[in-house]
Structure 1
Amino acid sequence: MKTLLGTEEVKAAYRRYAAVYDRLFGAVFEPGRKAAVAAVNTQPGQRILEVGVGTGLSLHQYRADAEVHGIDISAEMLEKAREKVEMRGLAQVKGLMEMDAEAMSFANDSFNCVVGMYVASVVGDPARMIAEMRRVCVEGGDILFVNHFASDHRLLRGFEKAVSPLATQIGFHPDFELQTLLDLAELELVRVQPVNMFGYWRLVHFRNRAAPATNATRQLGYQGGYKLATSPSSAAE
């Protein structure tokens, strides 16, 4: 049975990570962050929410004319993010709040874009988080995830399964399935794009509309065990 991550376990894990997170995960996860921000940096004056903003490694990449809000459950990670905002003078960042992604305090339809980077496999109940992301995003807006998903490589998948019981210690589920995210979202799927080293992580771009009755995932071809968009718009940026 999958080990569930509770709020306190996640807080404890990222309290440990806060001081070293940028050194451990800054450069290695940078391509995924850049791809996600590029996907939402398309229009002036957008209201953007970053769920699981962490230490704020992506905040300086958003357009200067955007209105960016970030939430995280870790006070220690948020403190690092606030330091970056002050040091860089990031006027587009309007607020960084300690908040549970599964129960946000924002009003309905508050944001044009909602981005969750490296957070889908961290929360205890991804379905609740996705429902909240849909709620606070305007109809037709963009909802994006960047995340590690379980490998189709036999040995890697075996390793992920083996360490899955340690989820409460490492702070995420290493065997989180891409299909789980697609099934839970029930949104119009725009594309799935490999990012970061070896394409082991994916950028998953949804539009905040119900998936077509034919199911958007059926319109995707298989490549390397993952469903990848086959239209020109899905090409890596």
Structure 2
Amino acid sequence: MSEVFKTVPAESMAGSASLDADAVRAAYRRWAGIYDYVFGAVSASARAEAVAAVNRAPGVAVLEVGVGTGLALPLYQSDKRITGIDLSAEMLDRARSRVRQQALANVDQLLELDAEDTGFETGRFDIAVAMFVASVVPHPIKLAAELRRVVRPGGTILFVNHFASESGPVSWVERAMAPASRALGWHPDFAIDRLIAPEDAAGLTARRMRPFGLFRLVSMINPPRVER
């Protein structure tokens, strides 16, 4: 079941304080050794569903942002050519080991790059997917803009993330956990409105994913570029 993606005015997007790149690196340096066993298990169903959406999307050149330890890499169809990027050298080391051990010939590159400023040429990819990244990067709006830049017009952009609940007991827990953002390496209280500016929200859809609707899959078709 899909839901229409709604945003709020930009002035309400301030939300919780952003994580800086050093905080993200430090957090994932701590988590790298146990990431697959802890978060990997919780996110397995959402990850598989997201990769299935990538596999259905037209085109072959795929950018996976926040590839981490490479948990998603074996799930891609062999005809998809994968470039993975991450800010954590430790996580990438584990992803490269996975590629070697499983002989994943369709993984072209695994690079240590900033998701907000990748340096890739404009329109290089047919598809971009950012799983569990939006609440980690310092400036989510910049992440979304960079993916729109590097994906060709008409290409597919997918985000998978936990987004804060609007009300109820879960929202109270999320707000209570917010001060621990730097240690966790992600924002438990991350608002969906911080990712997409209102003027860019046309045509976006979001649907809840297992388990328990904890994550949402947000998808869009990259619009044609407007020359300024």
Fold shared per TM-score above 0.5: yes
Among 169, 175, 181, which residue is 1:167 paired with?
181
Structure 1 residues 124, 74: CA separation in 2 closer, same or farther (over 3 Å shift)?
A: same
Q: Give how far 1:80 is off.
A: 0.6
Q: What residue in structure 2 maps to residue 151 of structure 1?
A: 165
Q: What residue in structure 2 maps to residue 132 of structure 1?
A: 146
Q: What residue in structure 1 maps to residue 109 of structure 2?
A: 95
8 Å CA contact 2:141, 2:197 repeated in 1: no
Larger relative contact order, structure 1 or 2 (CA cutoff 8 Å, min sep 6)? 2
Tell me the C-alpha RMSD between the 2 structures: 1.7
Q: What residue in structure 1 maps to residue 37 of structure 2?
A: 23
**Mean CA deviation greater in 75-84 or 24-33:** 24-33
| Structure 2 SS opposite 1:130 | helix
Taking only the aligned residue pairs, the percentage that are identical comes to 45
Residue 223 (structure 2) pairs with residue 209 (structure 1): yes
8 Å CA contact 1:123, 1:129 repeated in 2: yes
Among 137, 162, 179, which residue is 1:123 paired with?
137
Amino acid at match of 1:62: Y
8 Å CA contact 2:157, 2:221 repeated in 1: yes
Q: What residue in structure 2 maps to residue 199 of structure 1?
A: 213
Within 1, Cα distance between the matches of 2:142 and 2:53?
24
8 Å CA contact 1:130, 1:185 repeated in 2: no
8 Å CA contact 1:3, 1:165 repeated in 2: no
Within 1, Cα distance between the matches of 2:174 and 2:149?
32
Within 1, Cα distance between the matches of 2:199 and 2:69?
26
Within 2, Cα distance between the matches of 1:49 and 1:181?
18
User: Which stretches of structure 1, 4 residues or more, deviate above 6 A after TM superposition?
Assistant: none
- The aligned length equals 210
Q: Give how far 1:88 is off.
A: 0.5
Within 2, Cα distance between the matches of 1:202 and 1:101?
20
Q: Give how far 1:152 is off.
A: 2.8
Within 2, Cα distance between the matches of 1:196 and 1:71?
25
| Structure 2 SS opposite 1:189 | coil
8 Å CA contact 1:106, 1:136 repeated in 2: yes
Structure 1 residues 187, 109: CA separation in 2 closer, same or farther (over 3 Å shift)?
A: farther
More strand by share: 1
Amino acid at match of 2:46: G
Amino acid at match of 2:165: S
TM-score (normalised: structure 2) = 0.87
The CA deviation string for residues 145-178 of structure 1, in whole angstroms up to 9 with x for no partner, is: 1100101342221221122122111101111112
For structure 2, which runs of at least 5 residues remain unmatched after alignment?
1-14
